[in-house]
Amino acid sequence: MSVGGSGSPRADLGAEADAPDAAWTGDAWSEMVLVGRVARPHGLKGEVVVHTETDFVEQRFRPGQRLWAGTPASRRALTIRAARVHGGRVLVAFEGFPRIEEAEGLVGLELRVPERDVMPLAPGVVYQHQLVGCQVDAVDGPVIGRVVRVEDGGAVRLVVATDVGEVLVPFAADICVEVNVAERRIRVVLPEGLLELNAPAPPRRRRASRP
């Protein structure tokens, strides 16, 4: 099995990817947790720049850690050989990729871990990916919709699919008053008029005139 980065030579991922004891864990790729993306090679000794998607960079990207790299159709386990931060960028070298020629084949791949391997969090703190799929209910009873994604531009906002379209709900304690990821449910107190802001505009009425 092999994968290739866009515009780069294909990198042979080796027989290990097909070996039963080293192959896929059985976890669905979509259910695994994204922790980074390979951006580009760095230098000539197999290092790559990784755009991280985790708050635990030092723990996740350290020698000996195993990550799953690939796409929904093609993936394999990679073991980190070395990792460092240089100029504000995370540089990672993987075992079996000693030169730039091999590392180029990793460009564009996602790096993921099984859900069971995520870092433990303090009580009351949740991962953003755990919010996706949660049903959103108003405290007074009616179902509002379901979280389809999370936006994080400094302030976290839930994108909730409703009957009137997508609604942006700030993930704040005074709005999301109860979060239960085990039951896949979030209870909210929405600011007045928030749903109406997302309602589709009524069709414009045009005068019809005969020629």
pLDDT in tens, 131-171: 999 999 999 878 999 999 998 877 889 999 988 788 889 99
Examine the domain organization and report whether 113 and 136 are in the same domain: no
Examine the domain organization and report whether 23 and 113 are in the same domain: yes
Q: What is the residue range of 29's domain?
A: 2-117
Q: Is the pLDDT of residue 210 over 70?
A: no
- Residue 120 sits at the vertex; the CA angle it makes with 32 and 23, to the nearest 5 degrees, is 35
Examine the domain organization and report whether 35 and 90 are in the same domain: yes
**What is the tally of structural domains in the chain?**
2
Q: Is residue 211 part of a domain?
A: no
More confident: 204 or 73 = 73
Contact 148, 159 (CB under 8 A): yes
pLDDT in tens, 52-92: 988 899 999 999 999 999 987 888 999 999 999 998 899 99
- Residue 33 sits at the vertex; the CA angle it makes with 178 and 165, to the nearest 5 degrees, is 55
Please identify, among 68, 86, 117, the residue that sits at the C-terminal boundary of a domain. Answer: 117
Examine the domain organization and report whether 17 and 83 are in the same domain: yes
Examine the domain organization and report whether 45 and 110 are in the same domain: yes
The pTM (predicted TM-score) of the whole model is 0.66
For residue 20, what are its two tokens? 């039963």
Q: Is residue 96 part of a domain?
A: yes
Please identify, among 95, 117, 139, the residue that sits at the C-terminal boundary of a domain. Answer: 117
Examine the domain organization and report whether 52 and 142 are in the same domain: no
Residue 162 bridge partners (DSSP): 165
Examine the domain organization and report whether 13 and 103 are in the same domain: yes
